[in-house]
A and B are shown apart, each in its own frame.
Chain A
């Protein structure tokens, strides 16, 4: 069920990426990044208001949780800045493959150290099949661009 939720989230990503791409053409990539986070903050606030009654929402003390958990927001904004620099300098297919490989290797290591999970054979084969499918699908469009 959670796996299907993540697949559906991937679909939502395509809508947000498309809207962000169109927005960056209008106002520039860095301003569109700001607009995304402003409207995203409103979305997060809406989420808080909707579920406030069913949870024990409290003020967060950020001084005792370490640095790593806080990196998500920093890295997210940094990724946008880096993609603006790198994607115009290389082919779509190469970027896609390198990012997928980096993401998969890092995910295996993170799961091992944070959850103590060792990747099963079927998860590894499934992941490789999905990467191969993406490469096969991207190849013609990379030639077109």
Chain B
């Protein structure tokens, strides 16, 4: 794949992200929040099983073995289900753009905290002038959205 096609594909992934939030919000409006979150996960499970069957080359690696060694690694989806509930609820009320932007802001803020403290095994980063400026701009952006 050439560079232009690759960049177009990544741009489309951004469009996909917005549509995931929008579709989940509309689904929750039509059938109810609790019902929609359950169905969304079941559909996602079906699709990810299909991708696994057709695209995974090494199917033998067991996730069950992690239950004994690193059980916390299995919690990502569990925690993420509450994020799906929250996003579906928020999109219904304030729209996709505000929710998407607030999600980016939240990820940015927590990434900054992780970087400054070196949590989760990541390297501890220095607080440079550029980083301080980006945080001030971020806070200003979130403040403008809140008006």
On A, residues with C-beta under 8 Å from B are 2-20, 22-23, 26-28, 30-48, 51-52, 55-58, 60, 62, 65, 68-83, 86, 89-90, 94-95, 98-108, 110-111, 114-115, 117, 119, 122-123, 125-134, 136-137, 139-141
Cα separation A23 to B66 with both chains bound (whole Å): 9
Residues A39 and B75 in contact, CB atoms below 8 Å apart: yes
| A130 contacts across to B, CB distance below 8 A | 101, 104-105, 108, 137-138, 141-142, 145
Taking chain B's interface residues, is the majority helix, strand, or loop, or is none over half, making it mixed? helix
The listed residue (A13, A45, A106, A139) touching B15 by CB distance below 8 A is A106
Report the 8 A-B pairs with minimum CB-CB distance, sorted nearest first.
A10-B106, A102-B14, A73-B43, A43-B81, A126-B144, A129-B141, A36-B77, A19-B76
The listed residue (B38, B77, B138) touching A38 by CB distance below 8 A is B77
| Chain B nearest Cβ from A1, distance in angstroms | 10
> Which of chain B's residues 47-61 have a Cβ closer than 8 Å to chain A?
47-49, 51-52, 55-56, 58-59, 61
| A27 contacts across to B, CB distance below 8 A | 61-63, 66
On B, residues with C-beta under 8 Å from A are 1, 6-7, 9-24, 26-27, 30-49, 51-52, 55-56, 58-59, 61-63, 66, 70, 72-87, 89-90, 93-112, 114, 120, 125, 128, 130-131, 133-135, 137-138, 140-147
